[in-house]
Structure 1
Amino acid sequence: MKSMLTTLCYIEKEDRYLMLHRISKKNDVNKEKWIGVGGHFEKDESPEDCLLREVKEETGLALTSYHFRGIVTFILKDKGSELTEYMCLYTADDYEGTLCDCNEGVLKWVDKNEIFNLNLWEGDRIFLRLLQENHPFFSLKLVYEGNCLKEAVLDGKRI
């Protein structure tokens, strides 16, 4: 069983984010969505271990400067089941290496002012806005029923 602890990173370069268009995996909850890069913790990993491994696996890049920006609690209620995932959210502003192809989709540098025109999860729009506003470290709880965002709570207050 996969860990319910994950990382997600938005790598920044020249006022752009590296985005992953999730089009390659079958049975993908993120199918057709644009997201950052990251994934599930493996045994004995810290958030930073997971972040560095996942970014390297998905992009070929080795992060040299990154920042822990917040924790996002996802609650997904779907067809009588409920799943909770805790995601450590990062941004990165320096790296080494050469961008490679990703087996989970297509990687593309997207201007930050174009991000909100992409097919994003509704909750991702909230935390991407917080990142762009340089909001201090935050806790964001997102409750989904199927693909529909039903509740968002930022630092303990409904928004």
Structure 2
Amino acid sequence: MGLTTLCYLEKDDRYLMLHRIKKEVDVNKDKWIGVGGHFEKDETPEECLLREVKEETGLTLTSWRFRGLVTFLSDAWETEYMCLYTADGFEGDMITCDEGTLEWVKKSELERLNLWEGDKIFFKLLKEEHPFFSLKLKYRGDVLTEAVLDGKRLKTENQG
């Protein structure tokens, strides 16, 4: 079982996105995702969030919100529980990320990116200012087969 954080930094109606193109073996290879990563021993979600954002971007968060808990189930990797954040306050200078390319992307243009299907669901929830949510996403390979929001099943293209 994995525990991770993921954060979307916000500025000028854009999200800071990470294009995962630098690692050969990467479950997120060629996908665009937020910044974050795995918890270290005894870390709280906020400690993991702050450390991972600093490591991947060079930025120090000054204002953030815990938006939801996402449970990923897959036939290809172990179950992962992800704490999803947005952040609208940060300071410092951006660095080059060794996991991919960082780019500020207009929220209106996110759909053009190579995103996980489930990410499109939580982008919609963030846009709608949905209250704190629990989202279960079940994948078979790269294909989203089930999505359950706060205990209610959502319609997906590839229900199985």
Q: Do the two structures share a fold, i.e. TM-score over 0.5?
A: yes
Q: Does 1:105 align with 2:100?
A: yes
**Matched-pair identity in %:** 71
The secondary structure found in structure 1 opposite 2:102 is strand
2:60 pairs with 54, 58, 62, which one? 62
In structure 2, distance between residues paired with 1:50 and 1:63? 12
Q: Does 1:20 align with 2:18?
A: yes
Q: Does 1:155 align with 2:150?
A: yes
The secondary structure found in structure 2 opposite 1:94 is strand
The equivalent residue for 1:120 is 115
The equivalent residue for 1:51 is 49
Paired residue total: 154
Provide TM-score, normalisation by structure 1. Answer: 0.95
Greater than 4 Å deviation, 4+ residue runs? none
In structure 2, distance between residues paired with 1:158 and 1:95? 36
Aligned CA RMSD, in angstroms, stands at 0.8
5+ residue gaps, structure 1, are: none
Provide TM-score, normalisation by structure 2. Answer: 0.95
5+ residue gaps, structure 2, are: 155-160
Tell me the alpha carbon deviations over residues 30-84 of structure 1, each in whole angstroms, 9 at most, x when there is no partner. 0000000000000010000000000000000000000000000000113xxx620
